[in-house]
Amino acid sequence: MPEKHATEKHDIRPGQSVELLKELHILTRDGKLNQDSRRKLKQVYHLFNFIEPLLKDVLTQHPAVSLVDHGAGKSYLGFILYDLFFKEHAPAGHIYGIETREALVTHSQELAARCGFKGMEFLNLSVADSITSKALPDQIDIVTALHACNTATDDAIRFALEKRAKHIVLVPCCQAEVAAELRKNKQQALKNPLAELWRHPIHTREFGSQITNVLRCLQLEAHGYQVTVTELVGWEHSMKNELIVASYKNLPRRKPAERLHAVLDELGLAALQQRFYTAPSSIDA
């Protein structure tokens, strides 16, 4: 009865494990929710609403749905996805959590064992190393990367492309490469009036972040993906809340590939061609 009261009070979803939420420290031991935990839960639920239709789409094709979560941290997302979806709808599925901090990997492994979540696996790898790791299958259905810092989001994109992912869900974080390249070429670029967009240091940082995500979207489109960019949660929760969802549709690739290279050339970012790579076949489709 107390757990039912807690479920109703905090809008925990039907069938969701209250004990799991306690283990994740989203709920306190007596079933209460503090403000920080409420924010985390709201973010995870909001993201789940975007990912659930993608899981259902894959499930119509085969039962063994596979999902890799890069920069998993404490694996809030992975555990909630498994509890709310995999446990009932995709018991043959598998979630892989990729995380560089060994202590978090160990903790997540132990929690998955206690919960009986046999389809969850956690690997102590960087995103870059996971691309070639034999511990992961050759093909993955869905790839997620939430607030993967600096170039880790780009590595997650490369991973998804290498693994021929059907769906990709990204909440990009800081990335300094583009801003650094803009600074390096600033004097030459100032001949172009558009360089006023990043002349001041704070604008360099903000414009660098903006153009990084634009280039990421063009890169995905240049590989045949349909891309949607939206907001994950309200501004009151995080300034890093741009959500990029890409679904492979085998769309024409030539125009986005040409646009990507043109933007890189126009902004003096040609040195980053490899970071935002497009497959050789891109120009032929």
**pTM: predicted TM-score of the whole model, two decimal places:** 0.90
Residue 86 structure tokens: 């995999």
Cβ(94)–Cβ(64) below 8 Å: yes
Cβ(196)–Cβ(252) below 8 Å: no
- Residue extents of the structural domains in the chain: 2-173, 175-224+251-285
pLDDT values of the chain reduced to their tens digit, one per residue, 285 residues: 344 434 444 467 777 888 888 888 887 777 777 777 777 778 788 889 999 999 999 999 999 999 999 999 999 899 999 999 999 999 999 999 999 999 999 999 999 999 999 999 999 999 999 999 999 999 999 999 988 777 889 999 999 999 999 999 999 887 788 988 888 887 777 778 888 888 899 999 999 999 999 999 999 999 999 999 998 765 455 556 789 999 999 999 999 999 999 999 989 899 999 889 876 554 455
pLDDT score of 27? 79
Task: Give the helix/strand (H/E) hosting 48.
Answer: helix 35-59
Strand locations in 100-166 (E): 120-124, 142-146
CATH label, 2-173, candidates 3.30.365.10, 3.40.50.2000, 3.40.50.150, 3.40.190.10: 3.40.50.150
